[in-house]
Every structure is written in C-alpha cells, then in structure tokens.
Amino acid sequence: MFGKIKSLFYFVFIYPYHKMIFKTFGSRSKVIAPLKIYGAKNISIGNKVIVEYNTWLAAYPHTGEENCSLIIGDGTHIGHFNHIYATGKIHIGKKVLTADKVYISDNLHSYSNIDLPVIDQQIKQLSEITIGDGAWLGENVCVIGASVGKGSVVGANAVVIKNIPDYCVAVGNPAKIIKRYDRTSGEWLRTTPDGGFLKT
C-alpha cells in the first residue's frame, strides 16, 4: 500500500516538476531523490527511464563546448550513487543498465601546472561518450572520455579509457577486452586485449 502511495506522490508532484526542469523528460520516467542535478536544461531523458537514489546528473559547458548535452535513452536503468557529468556530450543509449557507483565523464581536471593546486586548474575536454544500446556497466565502473559499444559488458571496478566495440566483455584497470561475440559461430569467444579472436 505504501509503495502505491509513494508512486502516486511521485507522478502527481515530482514528475511534473521534472518535466518542467529537464530539456525533455519522457513518459513514465523517474529520477528518484537525486543527489544533484546541474544543467538540467541540457539533459534529455527518454521514456521509461529509471535513475535510482542519490545519483548526480550534470551537463554544463565548463570547457566552452557548444551544445553541451547529456542524453539518456528509452528504458535505461541508472543505478544508485552514479555520477554522470558532461561538459561536451554524453549519449547513453536505450535499455542500458548501470550498477551502483558508476562514474561517466567526458572531462577531467588538468594537472599540468605543478605550481597550482589541481582544483585551480582548467577542466580538460575529452572525447564525447556514447554508451551503446543494451550495454551493461558493472559496480564501480569508471568511463572517462571513451565509448562503450552496443550490447557490451564492462566488469566491476573497470576503468574505461579506450573505446570498447560492440558486443565485447571488458574488465580491469585500464579495461581490456577478454571476450567478443562471434556472429559466425554464435558464441562469445575469448580475445586478445585489442578484441582479436584467439586462435584455437
């Protein structure tokens, strides 16, 4: 009973507010008790998206990029305590699943000047990020200035700093590909770290 009342409260009071503050906010989507929302007018959320408790969503052009945007596609489920920060462009596809404590950023703090604290140095713009449709990012994954392909899986605690192609499994710090789907055999096969199939 309490769950139904809570859901009704959300859709009567919170949902209209989210429709108003975000650039777009799709049907039956929920952002549950966010930690922070920054640059909401640059954030587009599709239909049936769930953003779990205490996640930080941000899209703000600190680096001067035009058309700064964070896009979250239909049916995507963002876990608890995620931190997703775009200063250029981050596009999360449809039906993406992220576990808890996932970090996705297309920027980082410069540290080139040793005479200045890092906090006082400029933010450096990295490549735009795409998380492909149907991808899965495990617990504590960091994606920094790189993309993850359609249907790919990134194992827990991995740090992605290079692009991962479609239908791969990647693990480690830095993340390396260990499996890739082979359409010829219809199986997930072991690979070299660059995604080439191992000879059997």
Determine the pLDDT at residue 7.
72
In which residue ranges of the chain is pLDDT below 70?
A: 1-4, 6, 8, 200
3-state secondary structure of 29: coil
Walk me through the domains of the chain, giving residue ranges and CATH numbers. 2-108+115-190 (2.160.10.10)
Compute the distance between CA of residue 63 and CA of residue 102 in angstroms, rounded to an integer: 23
How far, in Å, CA of 130 to CA of 153, rounded? Answer: 14
> Considering the entire predicted model, what is its pTM?
0.93
Q: How many CB atoms lie within 10 A of CB 13?
A: 9
Q: For 108-137, what is each residue's pLDDT tens digit?
A: 999 999 999 999 999 999 999 999 999 999
CB 53 within 8 A of CB 32: yes
AA letter at 179: K
| pLDDT score for 161 | 98
- 62, 87 in Cβ contact below 8 A? yes
* Cβ contacts of 198 within 8 Å, gap of 6 or more: 189, 190, 191, 192
∠117-112-107 over CA atoms, to 5°? 85
